Amino acid sequence: MDVIALSWWQLALAALLVVALAGCVGAARLGMSKSLLIAAARTVIQLALVGLVLEALFASARLHWVALMALGMLLIAGREVMARQKRRLLGGWAFGIGTLAMFLSSFTVAVLTLTVIIGPEPWYRPQYAIPLLGMMLGNTMTGVALALDRLTDTAWRQRGVIENRLMLGERWQEAIGDIRREAMRSGLMPIINAMAAAGVVSLPGMMTGQILAGSPPALAVKYQILIMFTITLGTGFGTLVAVAAGSRRLFDGRERLRLDRLAPP
């Protein structure tokens, strides 16, 4: 079975409905019609552009172009992690820690999955590498951003507790231990929920796409399970690295809590 081709005028029909929704929202004075329309326009433009880039990338299929694309995705994800934090670490550390955590986890797991598990020829074949990395980065980004935000914000609000524990002679790891655990939990919760709800509450997007594209459901399910696991690995290790590095940065060499290293919200 082939996918039924979709033409631009068919999309325009759907777009018209979004405009109608914006009209209703505006009429009800909910004050969101503008941001709704801007977001819709961004979707069209960004996806159209990435479509062009992917077509060019698939046509060339050279390792250095794939690597460049991956690097671009990583840096944008790092910026996004930084932007989502209320009290971010100053001096480039918020960007640095987030990006490093995502690089270590997403890239390692993606390369491992490509070379050992899926095994396309060559291993960096962009039809596999880019969507895989994209899905991993997107989810790891959410986990890392949530965890770092929770870590810095809770450390700020509970500085009295942390310092009191330091005064009692505890190591910095003990003094911030509870907060680290909480930050880990909030980073991992979305993917745990997604795995628990997969197939029961929601049909995951990639599987839906493959089925629409004509893959047998059994194969689509296997791919979806693999993706879920790699996302979990990426998010889990990424969150671990980010929380470990981020909490270390909250203390100096004398194990003092240094909230002056956080930006005001």
Which residues contact other proteins (rule: CB under 8 A)? 160-161, 163-172, 178, 252-257
H helices of 198-257, in order, are 205-212, 217-249
Angle between the N-to-C axes of helices 126-157 and 177-197, in degrees from 0 to 180, rounded to the nearest 10: 140
DSSP 83-117: HT-SSPBTTTHHHHHHHHHHIIIIIHHHHHIIIII
In Å, what is the CA distance from 22 to each residue of 8, 13, 186?
21, 14, 33
Identify which of residues 42 and 256 has a Cβ nearer to other proteins in the complex: 256
Identify which of residues 90 and 192 has a Cβ nearer to other proteins in the complex: 90
Identify which of residues 80 and 170 has a Cβ nearer to other proteins in the complex: 170
Tokens of 35: 């941001």
Cβ at position 160, least distance to other proteins in Å: 4
- What is the C-alpha separation between 161 and 100, in angstroms, rounded? 29
Cβ at position 158, least distance to other proteins in Å: 8
The torsion angles phi and psi of 120, rounded to 5 degrees, stand at -70, 165
Identify which of residues 31 and 160 has a Cβ nearer to other proteins in the complex: 160
Cβ at position 242, least distance to other proteins in Å: 23
Cβ at position 248, least distance to other proteins in Å: 13
Cβ at position 178, least distance to other proteins in Å: 6
- What is the C-alpha separation between 133 and 234, in angstroms, rounded? 10
Cβ at position 259, least distance to other proteins in Å: 12
Identify which of residues 164 and 208 has a Cβ nearer to other proteins in the complex: 164
Neighbour-count burial for 99-118, b at 16+ CB within 10 Å, e otherwise:
bbbbbbbbbebbbebbeeee
Identify which of residues 69 and 257 has a Cβ nearer to other proteins in the complex: 257
